[in-house]
């Protein structure tokens, strides 16, 4: 072997082996994999990337036997994918600064609506008509989180967005960007129509004098269990991550009135 070949072989053998990226479907196959993955110093994919992947897969339309496009089916696979996305957000402690920085408006809209759903907020119910003081702590917190995000998103949309430097035009990428832009505009329209209600919800939160709880990976797992398997732990119990009154009110004030 020549000296040059020996040097090349030595360099190759000393190079650290990069572990393969974990695929989204692997988390469906092994229940404990998500927590193991999130405990890594530098998980690949990153938590926010996992949220996108899980929700993308759960939102894919299906095609029936007549080759007609149908809405995503409400099956066990898709419910688990949505739950996994929520669990990743819970791992991030529902930090809107982190979530907004990395997730698009459409993705966050889906994520927070799923949180409302699992927190037992009836679809179509006006949040302003719900009494936060009498709701289970995690339900009230889900409503506050959604309305904080709504106001923050409206405010952010008023600032000019720096356009990314365009690369070589690719039709599929351009179509995807246009679809996301239209979807974002539609969501913003709805949020702006509901802005006065969102402000009233947040104002009501400033009058609360009780601690709230936000869902954790543990409480989300409890909600996914069959009835009768929860051993007395419920949404209204002291389960989840406690958010003290002062902390909650500070978050609300910064989101809506700062």
Tell whether 178 is covered by a domain: no
pTM metric for this prediction = 0.84
Element (H, E) at 212: strand 212-214
Are the C-beta atoms of 115 and 215 separated by less than 8 Å? Answer: yes
Residue among 164, 246, 249 nearest 205 (CA): 249
User: What pLDDT shows up at residue 232?
Assistant: 47
The answer to whether position 123 is within a domain reads yes
CA 206 vs CA 56, 177, 229: distances in Å: 35, 38, 36
CB-based contacts of 81, cutoff 8 Å, min separation 6: 24, 28, 54, 55, 57, 58
68-112 per-position pLDDT tens digit: 778 888 889 999 999 999 999 999 999 999 999 999 999 999 999
Confidence band of 67 (pLDDT split at 50, 70, 90): confident
pLDDT bucket at 171, cuts 50 / 70 / 90: low
In a domain, 177, yes or no: no
DSSP secondary structure string for all residues of 32-48: THHHHHHTSSS-SS-HH
Q: Structural domain of residue 49, as residue ranges?
A: 21-62+71-157+190-257
10 lies in a domain? no
Cβ atoms 196, 126 nearer than 8 A: no
User: Cis bond leading into 164, ω under 30°?
Assistant: no
Tokens linked to 234: 């419920």
Q: Is residue 14 part of a domain?
A: no
Query: Could you tell me if residue 239 is inside a domain?
Result: yes
pLDDT of 103-149, one tens digit each?
A: 999 999 999 999 999 999 988 899 999 999 999 999 999 999 999 99
Taking the CA atoms of 27, 31, 35 and 36 in sequence, report the sign of the dihedral they define: negative
Q: How many domains does one find in the chain? A: 1
Average of per-residue pLDDT across 53-64: 89
Confirm if 148 and 202 have CB atoms less than 8 A apart. Answer: yes
Cα–chain-centroid distance for residue 6? 50
Q: Is residue 81 part of a domain?
A: yes
Question: Does the residue 11 lie in any domain?
Answer: no
């Amino acid at each position: 072997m020549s000296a040059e070949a020996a040097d090349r072989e030595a360099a190759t053998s000393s190079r650290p082996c990069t572990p393969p990226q974990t695929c989204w479907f692997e988390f469906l196959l092994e229940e404990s994999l998500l927590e193991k993955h999130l405990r890594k110093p530098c998980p690949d994919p990153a938590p926010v990337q996992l949220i996108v992947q899980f929700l993308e897969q759960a939102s894919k339309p299906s095609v029936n036997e007549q080759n007609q496009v149908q809405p995503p089916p409400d099956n066990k696979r898709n419910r688990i994918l949505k739950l996994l996305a929520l669990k990743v957000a819970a791992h991030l402690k529902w930090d809107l600064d982190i979530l907004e920085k990395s997730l698009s408006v459409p993705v966050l809209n889906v994520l927070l609506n799923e949180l409302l759903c699992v927190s037992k907020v009836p679809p179509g119910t006006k949040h302003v008509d719900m009494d936060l003081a009498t709701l289970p702590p995690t339900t009230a917190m889900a409503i506050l989180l959604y309305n904080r995000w709504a106001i923050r998103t409206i405010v952010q949309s008023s600032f000019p967005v720096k356009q990314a430097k365009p690369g070589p035009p690719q039709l599929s990428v351009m179509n995807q960007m246009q679809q996301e832009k239209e979807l974002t505009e539609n969501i913003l329209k709805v949020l702006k129509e509901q802005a006065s209600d969102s402000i009233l919800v947040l104002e009501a939160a400033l009058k609360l004098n009780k601690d709230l709880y936000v869902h954790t990976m543990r409480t989300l797992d409890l909600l996914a269990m069959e009835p009768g398997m929860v051993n007395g732990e419920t949404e209204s119990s002291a389960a989840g991550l406690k958010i003290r009154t002062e902390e909650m009110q500070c978050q609300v004030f910064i989101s809506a009135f700062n």
